[in-house]
Amino acid sequence: MTKITRRAALGAGAAASVALTAPSLRAQSASRITYWHHFTSQEEFTGLQKVMALFKQRFPNIALTQENIPNPEYMTKFTAAVMAKTRPDISMVVAERLADMLAMDGLVDVTARVNGWSQKANYPEDRWRGATSKGKIYGVPAFTFVDWVYYRKDWFEQAGISGPPKTLDEFVDAAKKLTDPSKNRYGFGMRGGPGGFAYIIDLIEAFGSQFVVDGKNAMDKGKTLAAIKWFSDLHTVHKVVPPSAPNDGFRQIMEGFKTGQTAMTWHHTGSLVEMVRALKPNELGTATKPAGPASRVARLTYLYNGLMKKDNEQAAWDWISFWGEADPSIAFLEETGYFPANAQLARDPRITGNPLYNPAGETLSFGKLPPSFVGFAGWAQNVVLPEFQKILVGQQNAERATDAILKGLDAAIN
């Protein structure tokens, strides 16, 4: 399979759209559909290409155009498309954005189609929770996000650390022991830039604070402050993260870990293939997320594909339901490392026979969905992350940032 570069994928537009097809029993006129996604890595783009090629074989009369929207801009683009009535046919949907997407009437109810789908029996009820609101389903799971830790096994052994940290206190201790700025080595690759809000949210919950209960701000200031301070101290006090941390996004934390700049980083199973290809078996380890003072928080979520309009609804349904079948799910797993959402496929030997997946299997017992309420996406991205970054660059302290985060939540939900 020829690799595709991100530039090639981004430029795939109408001129390079992939002609994909509808079965002979359906109308023979060609359908054209557009799919918006926020894939980031080379492996994800290659996996998408493989899934599209399989789709073309099954549905040769459906012309599918994929369009990549950078994740930090996704909700802005989504909102603009709804307001301007320029919606794509299909959109990626993640649980934390569902409430906002529905608040603007941006998704089509697919409950009846899901209930009549031949593959539904392979999807336990919890698989649908992140795309369900008021009993209606708005997306089909394509694959699973299982949060975990990557760590350098060889560095841990050299430092005499018996294993990956199980608590946040152990995490700080290990990060200190593994940091040596003179060698450009740091204990942790912090995602303080684009996308980094998710880790802040997780830590606030791990320290015991809720977010919204019965439509009201339920955040505990003391617990939120403790979480914000713990995380920012990694940069401002302990100096165990690279100096670039305030601006580092997905690509930077991946490269930092692969090139030997960082000893640990937090992500999910979707980047496993990239890590395996870059590091030797004695170098790469995976572990569960460390526990906080109140709970261990790791997200076990599903990436859904949903319909944004009813034009070409059958062709759009063919695409989102196709990903739920065995061949595309396994093809995507092989290129990325993402767990299939299909429970039957989760028992595939390529998962159960790979010890690197063991921490993900453990996470299945305690992982949970991220918070989801109207206004969450904007608050997390435009308030939580910027306020945290101000601490990292010395513009304010943790207490003022916490006050701004709580005030921002009031504005978001009201």
Residue 28 has pLDDT above 90, yes or no: no
The answer for residues whose C-beta is within 8 angstroms of residue 353's C-beta and 6 or more apart is: none
State the pLDDT at residue 29.
54
Radius of gyration of the chain, Cα coordinates, nearest whole angstrom:
21
Specify the range with the lowest mean pLDDT, choosing from 16-25, 232-241, 330-339, 360-369.
Answer: 16-25
Please report the pLDDT score of residue 364 as a whole number. 85
Residues contacting residue 49 through CB under 8 Å, at least 6 positions apart: 1, 4, 9
Residue 63 pairs in a beta bridge with: 19, 32
Q: Is 174 helix (H, G, I), strand (E, B) or coil?
A: helix
What is this structure's pTM?
Answer: 0.82
- pLDDT at residue 27 in the model: 39
Res 1 pLDDT > 90: no
Distance between CA atoms of 7 and 288, rounded to whole angstroms? 34
- What DSSP state is assigned to residue 126? G
- Both tokens of 21, joined, read 């097809």
Q: What confidence category does residue 352 fall into, taking pLDDT thresholds of 50, 70 and 90?
A: confident
Q: For 253-387, list the strands marked E by DSSP.
A: 264-268, 284-287, 300-307, 339-340
CA 413 to each of CA 99, 205, 213, 250, 406: distance values in angstroms, whole numbers, following the listed order: 12, 18, 11, 28, 11
Question: Could you give the CA distance from residue 279 to residue 271 in angstroms, rounded to a whole number?
Answer: 13
Structure tokens at 162: 């018996």
Q: What is the DSSP string of 15-28?
A: TTPEEE---TTS--
> Alpha-carbon distance 58 to 23, whole Å?
7
pLDDT digits (tens, 9 = 90+) for 199-214: 999 999 999 999 999 9
Q: What angle do CA 197, 209, 383 make, to 5 degrees?
A: 30
Q: What is the mean pLDDT of residues 50-62?
A: 97
pLDDT at 169: 97
Q: Is residue 3 scored above 60 in pLDDT?
A: no
Distances (CA, A) of 376 to 181, 270, 380: 37, 24, 6
pLDDT digit string (tens) for 325-349? 989 999 999 999 888 898 888 788 8
CA neighbours within 13 Å on the CB side: how many for 381? Answer: 15
Q: How far apart are CA 293 and CA 227, in angstroms?
A: 10
In order of their start, the domains of the chain are 6-144+302-358 (3.40.190.10), 146-299+368-413 (3.40.190.10)
Cα–Cα distance for residue pair 220/241, rounded to 1 Å: 27
